[in-house]
Structures are given as C-alpha cells and as structure tokens.
Amino acid sequence: MASASAASHAESEYKKVICSACDFYKPGDTLECAAFKVLKYLVETGKLTLEEVDLAVSQACRKSSA
C-alpha cells in the first residue's frame, strides 16, 4: 500500500513541476497532455531529473510582465 501512496505523491509532484506553467492546466485536472507524458517518462527513466525539468520550465515558460 505504501508504494501506491508513493506513486500518487510522485504523480502529484510531477504535475506541480511540469504543469505549473501551462496555460491549459487546471489544478485537480485528471487529463494528461503528451508533453506531460513525455517529460514524466524521461524523469522516470532517469534521462532527466525533476530539478532539470523545473529549471527548464522556469527558463522557457516565464510569463512576460508586459
């Protein structure tokens, strides 16, 4: 049962990091876009860390202040 809870926590953390900058994401949304699935796969297979994804989101998805 603990592994199901850990998986749920990881999924929640992925959504927080990956989806936070997306204009289409709504908290509580159960839909997963292709970009989320690809990034989740890359993190889970060790190709990227969640910290690297977070850095990329912060750099590439900055909202302009204009």
Kindly list the averaged pLDDT for each block of 10 residues, start to end, along the chain of length 66. 72 89 87 93 96 93 60
Predicted confidence at residue 36, as pLDDT, reads 93
Q: Residue 18 carries which side chain, given as an amino acid letter? A: I
What count of Cα atoms within 13 Å lies in the side-chain half-sphere of residue 7? 4
Name the pTM for this structure.
0.77
